[in-house]
């Protein structure tokens, strides 16, 4: 008997397509506007994973024609210094998007810093004003990872209206905004988390299953409804016995691919979409500001 295997939701390919679209929009408008869009990424300390993410974002900016105003601070930088930098960037006409790369050193308060960012320059879409706009169904900058998931589902013409969607994870970064976006698309949404009783019984009801708990291999084949769409938001670095490290998701891809109809790989699924939507938020802010 032939073994069925899930179709891949290719975030890498879709991200490349979005990059191309943004690049041509910027090229067409830049002469008229007189400057490119600008993104400022603030990084504090020398966390190697953060440094890799920031490099990746800056490369992506260069590819589409967004100017990078990256600032790298010593680990001992104070809260006040960072707040002053954000205040200056809020006023800077060249800068359309601002984001603070997490995690920050322990002595800094990330939430307070986020609150200092002008909501219309909030490239990550995480400011309370933008989350409030999402709750109310109003236009605003959307949280990049869940917005990237929605775009991926749209690209593959996966119907959401009236479907049972389960989001595993309730973080403000992914789980909560993800649930709101699915609700906005007329799905029936359940949010499950580490304290949910009988997680498997909940996930087996899902036509659309979004795993965003940050626990490697949490979702196994027996937890997935046959023919479901499985989106793996997890990004977990694990090290094997011989010291080699690799990136895995929250879903056991190998077993689950035999049950699901569509699945996202890790890496190459949601990750590239997060960066693409970050660039898109910056460009949206740019066009809104210049009124074109």
- The full DSSP string for 253-267 is HHHHTTT-SEE--TT
Say whether 24 counts as a known binding-site residue. Answer: no
Q: Which of 101, 116, 176, 207 is catalytic?
A: 101
User: What number of CA atoms fall less than 13 Å from residue 141's CA on the CB side?
Assistant: 30
For this structure, is 164 an active site residue?
no
Beta-strand ranges (E) seen in 45-89 are 67-68, 71-73
Are 41 and 58 in contact by the 8 Å Cβ rule? The answer is yes
Say whether 38 counts as a known binding-site residue. Answer: no
Q: Which of 57, 121, 176, 225 is catalytic?
A: 57
Residue 274 contacts by C-beta under 8 Å, 6 or more apart in sequence? Answer: 144, 145, 148
Give the residue from 39, 97, 105 showing the smallest Cα distance to 70. 39
For this structure, is 101 an active site residue?
yes
Q: Which residue has the tokens 């066009």?
A: 287
Token output for 201: 């019984």
Backbone Cα Rg of the chain: 19
Q: How far apart are the first and last CA of the chain?
A: 57
For this structure, is 79 an active site residue?
no
Q: Which of 96, 124, 232, 250 is catalytic?
A: 124
Q: Which residue has the tokens 């080699």?
A: 244
Give the residue from 213, 210, 221 showing the smallest Cα distance to 270. 210
Are 178 and 212 in contact by the 8 Å Cβ rule? The answer is yes
Say whether 171 counts as a known binding-site residue. Answer: yes
Are 99 and 68 in contact by the 8 Å Cβ rule? The answer is no
Token output for 258: 């035999």
**Which amino acids are annotated as binding site, given as ranges?**
169-171
Q: What residues are labeled active site?
A: 57, 101, 124
**Which amino acids are annotated as binding site for NADP(+), given as ranges?**
169-171
């Amino acid at each position: 008997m032939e073994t069925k295997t899930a179709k891949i939701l290719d975030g890498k390919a879709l991200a490349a397509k979005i990059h191309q679209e943004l690049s041509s929009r910027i090229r067409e408008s830049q002469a008229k506007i007189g400057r490119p869009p600008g993104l400022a990424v603030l990084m504090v300390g020398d966390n190697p994973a953060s440094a890799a993410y920031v490099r990746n974002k800056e490369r992506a900016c260069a590819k589409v024609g967004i100017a990078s105003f990256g600032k790298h601070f010593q680990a001992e930088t104070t809260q006040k210094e960072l707040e002053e930098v954000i205040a200056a960037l809020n006023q800077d006409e060249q800068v359309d998007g601002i984001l603070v790369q997490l995690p920050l050193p322990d002595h800094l308060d990330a939430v307070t810093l986020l609150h200092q960012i002008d909501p219309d320059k909030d490239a990550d879409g995480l400011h309370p004003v933008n989350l409030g706009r999402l709750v109310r169904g109003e236009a605003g900058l959307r949280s990049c990872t869940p917005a990237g998931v929605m775009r991926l589902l749209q690209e593959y013409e996966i119907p959401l209206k009236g479907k049972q969607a389960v989001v595993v994870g309730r973080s403000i970064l992914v789980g909560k905004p993800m649930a709101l976006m699915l609700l906005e698309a007329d799905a029936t949404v359940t949010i499950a988390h580490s304290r949910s009783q009988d997680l498997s019984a909940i996930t087996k009801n899902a036509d659309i299953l979004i795993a965003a708990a940050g626990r490697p291999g949490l979702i196994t084949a027996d937890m997935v409804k046959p023919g479901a769409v499985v989106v793996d938001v997890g990004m977990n670095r694990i090290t094997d016995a011989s010291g080699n490290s690799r990136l895995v998701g929250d879903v056991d891809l190998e077993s689950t691919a035999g049950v699901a109809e569509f699945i996202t790989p890790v890496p190459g699924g949601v990750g590239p979409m997060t960066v693409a939507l970050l660039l898109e938020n910056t460009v949206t802010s740019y066009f809104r500001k210049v009124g074109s």
